[in-house]
Amino acid sequence: MISFNIQKPDTALTTALQDKIDNLTKPKGSLGTLEEIALQIGLIQQTLSPTLHHPVNVIYASDHGIADEGVSKSPKEVTRQVIHNFLNGGAGVCFLSRQHGFEIKIIDGGVDFDFPPIPQLIDRKIRKGTRNFLHEAAMTQEEMELALQYGADIVTDCHNEGCNVISFGEMGIGNTAASSMWMTCLTGIPLIDCVGAGSGLDNEGVRHKYNVLKSALDNYQGDNSPLDVIRYFGGYEMVMAVGGMLRAAELNMIILVDGFIMTNCVLAASRLYPEMLPYCIFGHCGDEAGHKRVLDVLQAKPLLNLGLRLGEGSGSVCAYPIVESAVRMINEMHSFKQAAITKYF
């Protein structure tokens, strides 16, 4: 079983960072969240002059057995179709990545389709989709361990290529259902409050989705430990994201968190290694039912609230300019002394 050596950022630099921020030419605290982000990134990087290098959006993709139960408006073949759209540069996250200078890495972790060799598609297929967790565990212990390792290895590659700020996205029909199961099992929030419309279910569809997931929860005979919940209900792409997040924290990288699914991956990762949370910047609060609730559990302060629910890492990439502004603030604003301005607070 892969393990991670994650240390919380040393807080000894806090006073010096805060003093630098407070002495920039502005009223104290007047740049609000930008000041909070600058402090956080300074602590992550252990410097008074943090930098952002080679941002990458990693998209893990896989299919889910539970999709056979009609818990999503979209059929499973949409997973492979959207991957082709990624590869052709036509997806929502593609224009955002171009706009904000992100490299995109696309990983096939378990799509129910035989892709031909494609240089831009990283093949880490574990199985052609998870099993149906209404009836059995989604994956074996060995498959879960492999997914964690694959997810971590991709992040190591990004780090070796000069990346120090990383966003995680996903593609997999049925993964809001899997995320709802992680959320209820790992937080104790009632399942009814964790289930939403996903890719566009109507009220009747949401009721059906809830009933399927309630039956799956009733059938679950595991020990409710984080690892067992992750294995029993997760998708390969979700477990890979957990491994990726944990490796990113281990490497002192900035983790940009996307929507409902990726926030539940942070939840799962933090149940294994609570020390990873200070490395996370939460991009947005989306429209999926339960997203705000799980953000509240994590005591997270999302940067945006734009009604997004696309996934793919789109919300975290969209929020990146705010992160960049925070870093520019601490590096490019003059101090009162530099500007020869009387300190006015």
φ and ψ at 26, to 5 degrees?
-165, 160
pLDDT at residue 200, as a whole number: 87
Residues 255 and 166: their CA atoms lie apart, in Å, by 5
User: Fold identical between 11-51+329-339 and 56-316?
Assistant: no
For the chain, the average pLDDT equals 97
In the structure, what pLDDT confidence band is assigned to residue 10 with cuts at 50, 70 and 90?
very high
Which of these, 312, 255, 309, lies nearest to 284 by C-alpha position? 309
This prediction's pTM: 0.97
Active-site annotation holder among 69, 312, 324, 332: 312
What digits encode the pLDDT tens for the residues 72-91?
Answer: 999 999 999 999 999 999 99
What digits encode the pLDDT tens for the residues 237-296?
Answer: 999 999 999 999 999 999 999 999 999 999 999 999 999 999 999 999 998 889 999 999
Q: What kind of fold does domain 11-51+329-339 have according to CATH? A: 1.10.1610
142 is catalytic: no
pLDDT at residue 5, as a whole number: 98
Pairing state of beta strands 165-171 and 280-282?
Answer: unpaired
What digits encode the pLDDT tens for the residues 165-176?
Answer: 999 999 999 999
Report the half-sphere exposure of 176 (CA within 13 A, side-chain side): 29
Contacts of 67 (CB under 8 A, 6+ apart): 75, 76, 173, 174, 177
What digits encode the pLDDT tens for the residues 312-334?
Answer: 999 999 999 999 999 999 999 99
Residues listed for the chain: 345
Domain boundaries, the chain: 11-51+329-339, 56-316
What digits encode the pLDDT tens for the residues 15-31?
Answer: 999 999 999 999 999 99
| Residue range 56-316, CATH number | 3.40.50.10210
pLDDT at 345 over 80: no
